[in-house]
Amino acid sequence: MSHDPRLRETFDEAAATYQDARPDYPAELYTDLLALTALAPPARLLEVGCGPGKATLPLARAGFTITAIELGAALAAEARRRLAGFAGVSVITSSFEGWEPPEGDRFDLVYAATAWKWVDPAVKYAKAAALLAEGGHLAVWNADHAFPAGFDPFFTEIQRVYDELGEGDGSPWPPPPPEEWPDPAAAEFEGSGHFAVTATRRYVWALRYTAEEYIALLDTFSGHIAMHPAKRAHLYGEVRRRLAARPDGRLTRHWSVVLTVGRRL
């Protein structure tokens, strides 16, 4: 499926459902993040692409002061609603590229959860570094579909449907298991000249979905939001048909998150 950068604007269409349909990031990720950066409240954090607050809420509950930037107006409004009880959190509707903080404002951590890949690569590392205080960190992570040994055969079946619809990406099937995935963010960090990677961590887990739960998840992905309605209807019909044939009507999807942390040079 397409990774056209313009697709980043499609997520606003899923503002009402994104928070509940997408999985929470593992609690261990936040524990590791704070240990690796030696951060403690009330340190100042800048979140890039907060969406409805999926990764904002755990850090807000911990007591951090957070400025959250969100491109989509509907997503930003949803984040404000969910974060209204946290006086130290502000949500700003803007692209990261176009946002400028008050003169002299600096942060202890810039972070992005499942958003960093959508930011202009010519801008993001230099701008993040410029916004960080001395010794500050950049942390990014992205939730991806993982295919460990013995993954659910449903995905091989449904991949044929994607291919028939012209929505496959042409990659070999099956994808490599998560332990064989490289960490592209680490190379980007080092190549930017602005950050030295201090740590990476990987988290893999599995969730069970009914057909309707899985379709709700798919409706939060940019490629599915942008898909032609007839193709999407056919795909979702095939999801329902295949899962209806299973005794429990459910599939198992594995998730993989790689946390990359770098220190500003």
In the chain, domain spans: 5-147+178-206+255-264
Phi, psi (deg, nearest 5) at residue 224:
-75, -35
Q: Which of 7-16, 83-92, 235-244 has the lowest mean pLDDT?
A: 7-16
Separation CA 57–CA 108 (nearest Å): 18
* pLDDT tens-digit map of 55-114: 999 999 999 999 999 999 999 999 999 999 999 999 999 999 999 999 999 999 999 999
CATH for 5-147+178-206+255-264, options being 3.30.450.70, 3.40.50.150, 3.40.50.720, 1.10.940.10: 3.40.50.150
Confidence (pLDDT) at 2: 40
Q: How many CA atoms lie within 13 A of 253 on its CB side?
A: 17
Q: pTM of this prediction?
A: 0.95
Number of neighbouring beta carbons within 10 Å of residue 238: 17
Instruction: State the greatest distance between any 2 C-alpha atoms of the chain, in Å, as a whole number.
Output: 60
CA 245 to chain centre: 32
Confidence (pLDDT) at 1: 40
Alpha carbon of 246 to those of 40, 160, 217: distances in Å? 47, 19, 20
* pLDDT tens-digit map of 175-196: 999 999 988 899 999 999 999 9
Query: Over pLDDT 70: what percentage of the chain?
Result: 98
Mean pLDDT of 207-226: 97
- Residue at 112: amino acid letter: A
* pLDDT tens-digit map of 129-138: 999 999 999 9
Query: What are the residues whose beta carbons fall under 8 Å from the beta carbon of 203, sequence distance 6 or more?
Result: 25, 26, 28, 29, 256, 257, 258, 259
Confidence (pLDDT) at 6: 65
pLDDT at 3 over 90: no
Residue 180 is encoded by which pair of tokens? 């064989």
